Amino acid sequence: MASTQLTASSISGNGFASFEGLRSTCIVKTVSFAPLKHNNSRSFSRLVVKAATTVAPKYTTLKPLGDRVLVKIKTAEEKTVGGILLPVSVQSKPNGGEVVAVGEGHSAGKTKVDISVKTGAQVIYSKYAGTEVEFDGSKHLILKEDDIVGILETDDVKDLQPLNDRVLIKVAEAEEKTAGGLLLTEAAKEKPSIGTIIAVGPGPLDEEGNRKPLSVSPGNTVLYSKYAGSEFKGADGSDYITLRVSDVMAVLS
């Protein structure tokens, strides 16, 4: 009986922000009982799944409706920082881009609320949000404004401006030793769910369209849900995470 383990990890992109995105490790085990017979008549070189909706060239304008935003997706890096060409299978899929069109907003009670991001803004959005669209020769994403994590106009995630009820946290460093004084290897270090808040959003909207301030502020050390939010790597090598304030469980002092 033979088993095979495959792992995949994200790679930092260049030119937009120095972050890794969510790290994921996928383990696939295959068990073989007999040699596989090769059948030339039913062999496939590759399987291509096309998820994006292609808009015909005759349509020159795409206007989002309501609280939706159209984002031109940042192109995935084809090379590493050292210039090594990356195969498609390991190119990091970006989760950021430029806002190219916005909807008319939405209503909160009797108040009309405009979209808080403007065209031209560089934004980061939730990894699995929105609908991908092939439009005007480029890949775009139509998503709700609430799926935008924040605005990032520099190359460093520590400068992220969170939107709505989200916060940006600098993750505390993992413990180097056990309680008994034993040194831990990198693989054995448990990633903490404690960190310091770097920036907060303006707060969610109430029924009258007014912003409700968040219950935490920059400088607070907090305990947050272990599997919440989106993780990034800062230019200084530190780990950062963005999440909703409802995923913050306690303030430590």
pLDDT digits (tens, 9 = 90+) for 48-83: 444 678 989 899 899 999 999 999 998 766 555 566
Mean pLDDT, residues 14-19: 43
Instruction: Look at residue 238 and tell me whether its pLDDT is greater than 80.
Output: yes
pLDDT for res 235: 86
For residue 56, give the 3-state DSSP assignment.
coil
Q: What is the pLDDT of residue 209?
A: 78
Does residue 99 register a pLDDT over 70?
yes
Tell whether the model's pLDDT for residue 85 goes beyond 60: yes
Task: Decide which of 81 and 25 is more confident.
Answer: 81
**What average pLDDT score do residues 86-102 get?**
71
In 10 A of CB 191, how many CB atoms?
Answer: 12
Instruction: Provide the pLDDT for residue 211.
Output: 87
pLDDT value of position 189: 47
- The confidence band for 15, taking pLDDT boundaries of 50, 70 and 90, is very low
Largest CA distance in the chain: 69
Q: Taking the chain, what is the end-to-end CA distance rounded to the nearest angstrom?
A: 53
Q: What share of the chain is helix, strand, coil (3-state, %, to 5)?
A: 5, 30, 60
Spatial separation of the C-alpha atoms in residues 164 and 172, rounded to whole Å: 24
Tokens, residue 213: 């301030």
What pLDDT is recorded for position 83?
60
Statement: residue 127 has pLDDT above 90: no
Report H helices in the chain: none
Could you tell me the pTM of the whole model? 0.67
CATH topology agreement for domains 61-152 and 164-252: yes
Whole-angstrom distance, CA of residue 69 vs CA of residue 148 = 9
CATH code for the domain defined by 164-252:
2.30.33.40
Q: What residues have CB less than 8 Å from 131, skipping those under 6 apart? A: 53, 141, 142, 143
pLDDT at 45 over 90: no
Task: Indicate whether 37 pLDDT > 60.
Answer: no
Instruction: Give percent of the chain above pLDDT 90.
Output: 40
More confident residue, 49 or 152: 152
What is the pLDDT at residue 23? 41
Q: Which residues touch 229 (CB under 8 Å, ≥6 apart)?
A: 169, 241, 242, 243, 244, 247
Q: Are strands 148-151 and 161-162 parallel, antiparallel or unpaired?
A: antiparallel
Radius of gyration for the chain, computed over Cα atoms and rounded to the nearest angstrom: 22
CATH (one of 3.30.70.100, 1.10.300.10, 3.40.800.20, 2.30.33.40) for 61-152: 2.30.33.40
Q: How many CB atoms lie within 10 A of CB 104?
A: 13
The domain segmentation of the chain, as residue ranges, is 61-152, 164-252
Q: What are phi and psi of 232, to 5 degrees?
A: -140, 160
Q: How is residue 146 written in tokens?
A: 């609430």
Distance, in Å, from the CA atom of 178 to the CA atom of 184, rounded to the nearest integer, reads 7
Q: What is the pLDDT of residues 169-228, one digit of tens each?
A: 999 876 555 556 555 455 544 566 899 999 999 999 887 778 899 999 999 999 999 888
Is pLDDT above 80 for 91? no
Between CA 160 and CA 174 the distance in angstroms is 23
